[in-house]
């Protein structure tokens, strides 16, 4: 059996694994702070292996792998470009026009926009998004895992959708069906300074899988009912973060943008959309 076949076989079996138990076991390792020398070596190895430019992040000792994973940018490291900017770092794996009568295509996945956004838990009117624009950003394990506001406006509410914790890399998207309809999600309803609504869906992934929102306790909003946030934010302010691998799906209503700027990889603060 080739390595590719072994990977596919493992992913096909992933649905039968105890996702939450795996998450807890992984978190016990990544949150360990002792022995300090082992943490330092693991962080150094990770940075070297993945070619992480540590100069753009805060200069300090990281106390655990979790601490390094959630490293913050140094002040001034990411000047914001004009317009609607990328909310996070990652690979731009899909973008296009929204048609509520047809599936949204992400790699090999054919997904219902309503299922991704609402998960069958909520009844949301998405009619103003028909003919709009979507962009899907996969946050790689080597990247920066904090999510920021792409425009000045209001973070109005969050709708939590319980789910599994499947991987989201290319192999997983090829083998595991409907990942973005099945994993845990937090749908953030936002409104820009002109009053136009847009959505950002934070999708949790395998190993730890936690979605966290800035200034809001998870136990308060991780319930199957809309939770009001009412945070007024400037462009580039932090919205939340992922405890491990993850994806952000951005959905814009019709008339908001003429398309996504085509580049395979985006960085938080770069212009994402043509307006």
CA distances from 210 to 6, 74, 122 (A): 27, 24, 21
Is 40 tagged catalytic?
no
pLDDT tens figures, 215-263: 999 999 999 999 999 999 999 999 999 877 689 999 999 999 878 888 8
User: How many beta carbons lie within 10 A of that of residue 274, not counting itself?
Assistant: 13
Q: Which of 89, 145, 192, 206 is catalytic?
A: 89
* CA-wise closest residue to 84 among 245, 192, 225, 238: 192
Element (H, E) at 9: helix 3-13
Q: What whole-number distance in Å separates Cα of residue 100 and Cα of residue 129?
A: 8
Q: Which of 19, 95, 118, 148 is catalytic?
A: 148
Q: What whole-number distance in Å separates Cα of residue 255 and Cα of residue 208?
A: 38
Peptide bond into 35 cis (omega under 30): yes
- Quick one: how far is CA 213 from the chain centroid? 12
Residues making up the chain, counted from first to last = 275
Q: In this structure, what are the phi and psi dihedrals at residue 237, rounded to the nearest 5 degrees?
A: -70, 150
| β-strands 133-139, 90-97 pairing | antiparallel
pLDDT for the residue 1: 58
Q: What whole-number distance in Å separates Cα of residue 73 and Cα of residue 80?
A: 13
Q: What whole-number distance in Å separates Cα of residue 173 and Cα of residue 217?
A: 31
Query: Cα dihedral angle (163, 25, 29, 244), rounded to 10 degrees?
Result: -10
Q: Which of 64, 95, 206, 246 is catalytic?
A: 246
What stretches in the chain show pLDDT beneath 50? none
Q: What whole-number distance in Å separates Cα of residue 60 and Cα of residue 44?
A: 13
Is 127 tagged catalytic?
no
The CATH code for residues 90-274 is 2.70.70
What predicted TM-score, i.e. pTM, was given to this entire model? Answer: 0.91
- Quick one: how far is CA 182 from the chain centroid? 14
Q: What whole-number distance in Å separates Cα of residue 68 and Cα of residue 64?
A: 6
Is 246 tagged catalytic?
yes
Q: What whole-number distance in Å separates Cα of residue 122 and Cα of residue 252?
A: 19
Reduced to 3 states (helix: H, G, I; strand: E, B; else coil), residue 202 is strand
* CA-wise closest residue to 186 among 210, 220, 160, 163: 160
- Domain positions in the chain are 3-69, 90-274
């Amino acid at each position: 059996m080739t390595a590719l076949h072994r990977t596919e076989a493992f992913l096909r079996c992933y649905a039968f694994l105890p996702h939450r138990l795996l998450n807890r076991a992984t978190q016990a390792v990544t949150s360990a702070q002792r022995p300090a020398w082992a943490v330092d070596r693991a962080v150094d190895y990770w940075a070297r292996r993945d070619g992480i430019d540590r100069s753009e992040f805060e200069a300090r000792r990281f106390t655990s792998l979790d601490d390094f994973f959630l490293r913050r940018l140094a002040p001034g490291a990411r000047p914001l470009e004009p317009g609607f900017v990328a909310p996070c770092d990652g690979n731009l794996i899909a973008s296009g026009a929204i048609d509520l009568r047809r599936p949204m295509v992400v790699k090999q996945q054919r997904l219902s926009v309503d299922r991704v956004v609402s998960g069958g838990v909520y009844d949301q009117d998405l009619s103003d998004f028909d003919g709009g624009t979507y962009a899907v950003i996969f946050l790689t394990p080597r990247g920066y895992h904090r999510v920021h506001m792409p425009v000045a406006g209001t973070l109005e509410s969050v709708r939590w959708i319980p789910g599994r914790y499947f991987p989201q890399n290319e192999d997983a998207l090829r083998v595991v069906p409907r990942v973005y309809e099945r994993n845990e999600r937090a749908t953030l309803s936002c409104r820009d300074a002109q009053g136009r609504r847009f959505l950002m869906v934070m999708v949790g992934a395998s190993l730890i899988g936690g979605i966290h929102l800035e200034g809001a306790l998870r136990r308060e909003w991780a319930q199957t009912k809309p939770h009001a946030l009412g945070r007024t934010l400037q462009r580039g302010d932090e919205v939340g973060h992922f405890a491990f691998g993850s994806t952000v799906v951005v959905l814009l209503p019709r008339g908001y943008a003429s398309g996504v700027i085509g580049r395979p990889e985006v960085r938080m603060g770069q212009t994402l959309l043509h307006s």
